Amino acid sequence: MTLNTDILTLLKNEADENYRLFSEKLTPGAKNILGIRIPRLRKIAKDIVKNHDWRFFLNNAQNSYFEEDMLFGMVIGYANMPLTERLSYLQKFIPQINNWAVCDCCCSTFKFAQLYPKEIWNFISTYINSPNEYENRFAIVMMLNFFINEEYISLVLQSFEKVKHNGYYAKMALAWAISVAMVKFEAQTLAFLKNCTLNDWVFNKSIQKICESYRISPELKSYLKRLKRK
């Protein structure tokens, strides 16, 4: 038995059929879901990092199941390693993302981005106009989580305009990110929306997401609704 075989056995033993059925409905595109809740997966990932040879796990991952993909990304986030090694594992991980849940849950784990903002920005920017929908979403969600700040807001908004992928989950991530940008940087984001070349669907969905926020004033919501494209 190897570490990876033992972990897969553990995952299968903890599988919950009802949660599997729920997850399948929630995450179209995800394959081979066993049915394990995210907090439990996080605990398993932290145990791998703390008590096992996590490099062996990453180097020998088969990623046959949704939960294995999730663990792979989480271990990259939790393990202590040099940045160059982390980026190498990310390059292996990102093309394997095939659903929003693995993308978003793992991106939220990549808090190392706060330690190396310049390097991580340069890395994720290469995926912003990828022909792969979830590579697009990865870049957008990373920007949303770690780069909507004073230093990067202008670059973030410029990058958002580069997203041309027509996939639903890339477009939804973009609308979500623009709504967060509006909450944090209203003036810059409003100017962006007035002059952007976003397609009509993303533009209107962004306004919808903004107007759903309780942190946006009624006056601004009313104004934005008048900007919606027909």
b/e for 100-122, b at 16 or more Cβ within 10 A? Answer: bbbbbbbbbbbebbeeeeeebbe
Domain boundaries in the chain? 1-101, 110-230
pLDDT beyond 70 at 83: yes
Q: Indicate whether this model's pTM tops 0.85.
A: yes
How confident is the prediction for the chain on average, in pLDDT? Answer: 95
CATH class given for the domain over 110-230: mainly alpha
pLDDT in tens, 147-175: 999 999 999 999 999 998 999 999 999 99
pLDDT in tens, 7-31: 999 999 999 999 999 999 999 888 8
Q: What is the 8-class DSSP label of residue 230?
A: -
pLDDT of residue 62: 85
Q: Look at residues 90, 108, 102 and name the one whose alpha carbon lies nearest to residue 134.
A: 102
pLDDT beyond 90 at 178: yes
Distance from C-alpha of 14 to C-alpha of 27, rounded to nearest angstrom = 20
* Cβ-Cβ contacts under 8 Å for 50 (sequence gap 6 or more): none
pLDDT beyond 80 at 190: yes
Neighbours of 150 (CB within 10 A): 8
pLDDT of residue 2: 76
pLDDT of residue 4: 84
pLDDT beyond 90 at 198: yes
